[in-house]
Amino acid sequence: KAVQNIFSGLGQKGKMEIISAGREPSIETKMGTTRLKLLEAAKNIEGANDWSFDRALRIAAADLIPREGRKSIVYIGKGLLNHLSFKNYSLIQLADYLKNNSIDFYTVSLENIRPADELVFLTEQTGGRGYFLNSPEGITRIVNDIEGKIMPIYTLSFISHSESDFGRKYIKLSSEVTVQKKSGRDDSGYYAPLRF
């Protein structure tokens, strides 16, 4: 039900995939899969007592990092964790990994109990939010919340008219950005593609 509601809310505005957090976490469906395949994959996921939350979260994040646009991970489960949840990566490492890559973490609890403190911590640290599957407002609001987030990453593109000496000359590049009375400046450079 949760997967179907989120997929319906997304419509043509976004893509999703399913990653299972079993003993060996795996990508069950690829990004942009059809609704039918997503629902089938969600139904076929088997629970395990020794599931690996931290590794599944890293797999999900690593798959999102190279993608453009808003990036969010939605945990759907009972809201409970086990003793293996942070065996490979600590809670702080996971929170930093998500924050440094501008990935928000959301939870959808299948039961009306408060999620584990660690899940709440991840949502707070990354700017996400927690939901209950059976809440009166429904979980389709999650899509609106994700769409409403301000993206902290911008792409700068340009065409340089500097002389590149056929790709042998280092070309300096400076950029300065001012947003809401805050500014930042950075200097860098590059070599143009080699031309013969």
Sign for the pseudo-dihedral over CA of 162, 168, 170, 175: positive
Q: Write out pLDDT tens, residues 23-39.
A: 787 676 677 666 666 66
In the chain, the percentage of residues whose pLDDT exceeds 70 is: 77
Question: What's the angle, vertex CA 32, arms to CA 27 and CA 38, rounded to 5?
Answer: 60
Instruction: Name the most confidently modeled range: 57-61, 83-87, 107-111, 178-182.
Output: 57-61
- What is the residue-averaged pLDDT of the chain? 79
The backbone region for 167, taken as left when phi is positive above 0, alpha when psi lies in -120 to 50, beta otherwise, is left
Checking if the pLDDT of 148 tops 80, the result is no
Spell out the domains of the chain, with CATH numbers in brackets. 2-147 (3.40.50.410), 154-196 (no CATH)
Checking if the pLDDT of 90 tops 70, the result is yes
Residue 9, both tokens: 């809310």
Residue scoring higher pLDDT (154 or 93)? 93
Tell me the average pLDDT across 78-85. Answer: 82
CA 69 to chain centre: 10
How deeply is 40 buried, as exposed, middle or buried, from its count of CB atoms within 10 A (0-12, 13-18, 19+)? middle
CB within 8 Å of 124: residues ≥ 6 apart: none
Instruction: Name the most confidently modeled range: 60-69, 132-141, 145-154.
Output: 60-69
The whole-number pLDDT of residue 6 equals: 64
Least confident range of 25-29, 49-53, 83-87, 150-154:
150-154
Question: What's the angle, vertex CA 141, arms to CA 147 and CA 64, rounded to 5?
Answer: 45
> In degrees rounded to 5, what are phi and psi of residue 177?
-125, 135
Contact (CB, 8 A) for 122 and 94: yes
